């Protein structure tokens, strides 16, 4: 049996290339964080997947890769400084696991970069990058229900993000 069994492309509109997200600040959440081995197999990086939660780019995703284990000390220092900015922005400076930093709103600054990786599929093409992170400033402090604090670090979060589609 073929993996394409029953699929007919004539009955489905083809996907269109997505335009770049315009440069600027966006409210977002960390959707997930995954550790992956680097291509040279001499270290690893953390892949952060951010989802924009408001505005015309709502539900678009932007990625940041942090070289947390790498032979280059400079790469690790840059990754650690970026991770510090991310964790401060979500208010979880010492997470125990990756789930603690997910679904907490923050502001990401999105920019555009031209790929110079040498990979023929991407070289010379523009792509979105994240150039900064900051806490989401609320006009009024959120009220936390009594007993809702989890080990005095971050308020408890609902099981499903309030902005997620139902």
Q: What is the pLDDT of residue 163?
A: 57
- pLDDT for residue 164 is more than 70: no
Check: CB of residue 106 under 8 Å from CB of residue 87: no
Q: What is the pLDDT of residue 81?
A: 95
CA distances from 148 to 65, 99, 154 (A): 32, 17, 9
DSSP string covering the chain: --TTTT--GGGSPPP-PPPPPPSEEEEEEEEEEEEEE-TTSS-EEEEEEEEE-SSTTTT-EEEEEEEEE-S-HHHHHHHHHHHHHHHHHHT-SS-SSGGGGTT--EEEEEEEEE--S--TTTTT-EEEEEEEEEEPPPSSPPP--TT-EETTTEE---SS-TTS--
Residue ranges per structural domain of the chain:
19-137
For the chain, what percent of residues have pLDDT higher than 70?
78
Q: Which of 60, 59, 73, 63 lies closest to 36 in space, CA to CA?
A: 63
pLDDT-wise least confident of 34-48, 68-82, 101-115, 132-146: 132-146
For range 109-124, the mean pLDDT: 79
Mean pLDDT, all residues of the chain: 84
CA dihedral 91, 137, 80, 129 (to 10 degrees): 140
pLDDT digits (tens, 9 = 90+) for 120-160: 667 678 889 999 999 987 433 334 344 443 333 344 455 55
Q: What is the pLDDT of residue 148?
A: 40
Topology of domain 19-137, per CATH?
A: OB fold (Dihydrolipoamide Acetyltransferase, E2P) (2.40.50)
Q: What is the pLDDT of residue 16?
A: 86
Q: Which of 98, 31, 99 lies closest to 59 in space, CA to CA?
A: 31
CA distances from 25 to 3, 35, 93, 106, 131 (A): 41, 26, 22, 10, 10
């Amino acid at each position: 049996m073929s993996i394409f069994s029953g699929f007919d492309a004539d009955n489905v509109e083809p996907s269109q290339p997505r335009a770049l997200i315009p440069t600027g600040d966006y409210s977002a959440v960390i959707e997930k964080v995954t550790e992956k081995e680097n291509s040279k197999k001499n270290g690893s990086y953390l892949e952060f997947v951010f989802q924009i939660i408001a505005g015309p780019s709502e539900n678009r995703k932007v990625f940041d890769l942090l070289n947390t284990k790498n032979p280059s000390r400079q790469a690790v220092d840059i990754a650690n400084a970026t991770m510090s900015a991310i964790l401060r922005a979500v208010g979880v400076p010492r997470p125990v696991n990756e789930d603690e930093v997910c679904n907490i709103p923050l502001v990401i600054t999105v920019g555009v970069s031209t790929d110079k990786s040498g990979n023929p599929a991407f070289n010379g093409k523009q792509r979105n990058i994240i150039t900064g992170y900051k806490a989401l400033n609320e006009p009024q402090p959120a009220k936390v229900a009594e007993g809702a604090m989890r080990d005095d670090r971050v308020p408890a979060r609902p099981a499903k993000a309030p902005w997620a589609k139902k």
